[in-house]
């Protein structure tokens, strides 16, 4: 049996390369343009229109076995859309751990070794938390009589992210690997949510994004003081019975 060179090429080439090539031919406006548009639709199910751009193709072809990086997208917003698509494909069953609490009076003392201050501000509404990474301040609503541990560690994550610029490049900070929907917003939120869940619900993180679990383990082992402080927070936390 004779196999044509073209067919062999088709067997080894990835869809993505073929699609890119077809789009290039189409955009060159050659007389064969319509033929390529038809191939794009028949072979890959992609409708070529005014809005077909490489970002859109990457979004449509999103697959968990080949995760793209931010620099492969021309716009950050498209990269976020792509991350949203991957998030759906992962079918993550994650729920905020809203019953894990800590006494606000303890928080101040526990984060002190990191040089972080905790403030309770009347301008911040109940249940809200905010970090000011450059000032090393975490703020909570003034009337709280307990603090959500997951939210506290999330805010600590913002400060660590600010202090180590290398973190932004790690997969734990990539929205394409976020354990939560909220983390799809941007690299900062993705890191903070993954960071919090690493401590509060490690089994969930390990199950759905094992790469992030390993990555965070690698990052955190360099920060012994941070690890100590957060494990201490976990030790002093309690489950609120509803
Ligand atoms: Zn945040």
What is the 222 CA–ligand 1 centroid distance (Å)?
22
pLDDT value of residue 188: 97
**What's the mean pLDDT in 209-228?**
97
For residue 223 the two structure tokens come to 């920060």
Q: What integer best gives the mean pLDDT of the chain?
A: 89
Q: Ligand 1 centroid to 38 CA: how many Å?
A: 45
Planar angle of CA 10, 176, 147, nearest 5 degrees: 165
pLDDT in tens, 177-190: 999 999 999 999 99
Question: Separation of 140 CA from ligand 1 center, angstroms?
Answer: 13
Task: Output the pLDDT for position 8.
Answer: 42
Indicate the pTM of the whole model.
Answer: 0.80
Those residues whose C-beta lies under 8 Å from the C-beta of residue 206, and which sit 6 or more positions away, are: 213
* pLDDT tens-digit readout, 12-30: 456 778 888 888 888 888 8
Dist CA 203 CA 157 (whole Å): 19
In this predicted model, what pLDDT tens digit does every residue of 19-58 receive, in sequence order? 888 888 888 888 888 898 888 888 887 888 755 688 988 9
CA of 182 to the centre of ligand 1 (A): 9
Determine the Cα–Cα distance for residues 79 and 161; give it in Å rounded to an integer.
20
Does the pLDDT at position 97 exceed 90?
A: no
């Amino acid at each position: 049996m004779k196999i044509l060179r073209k067919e062999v090429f088709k067997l080894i080439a990835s869809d993505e390369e073929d699609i890119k090539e077809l789009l290039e031919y189409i955009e060159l406006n050659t007389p064969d343009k319509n033929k390529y548009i038809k191939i794009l639709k028949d072979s890959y199910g992609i409708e070529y229109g005014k809005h077909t751009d490489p970002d859109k193709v990457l979004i449509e072809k999103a697959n968990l076995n080949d995760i793209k990086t931010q620099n492969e997208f021309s716009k950050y917003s498209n990269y976020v859309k792509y991350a949203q698509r991957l998030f759906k494909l992962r079918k993550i069953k994650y729920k905020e751990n809203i019953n894990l609490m800590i006494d606000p009076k303890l928080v101040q003392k526990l984060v002190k070794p990191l040089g972080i201050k905790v403030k309770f501000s009347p301008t911040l509404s109940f249940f809200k938390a905010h970090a000011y990474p450059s000032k090393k301040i975490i703020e909570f609503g003034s009337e709280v009589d307990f603090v959500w541990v997951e939210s506290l560690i999330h805010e600590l994550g913002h400060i660590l992210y600010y202090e180590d610029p290398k973190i932004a490049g790690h997969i734990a900070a990539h929205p394409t690997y976020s354990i939560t929907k909220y983390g799809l917003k941007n690299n900062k939120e993705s890191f903070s949510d993954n960071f919090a869940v690493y401590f509060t619900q490690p089994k969930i993180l390990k199950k759905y994004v094992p790469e992030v679990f390993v990555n965070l383990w690698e990052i955190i082992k360099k920060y012994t003081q941070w690890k100590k402080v957060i494990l201490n927070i976990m030790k002093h936390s309690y489950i609120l019975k509803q």
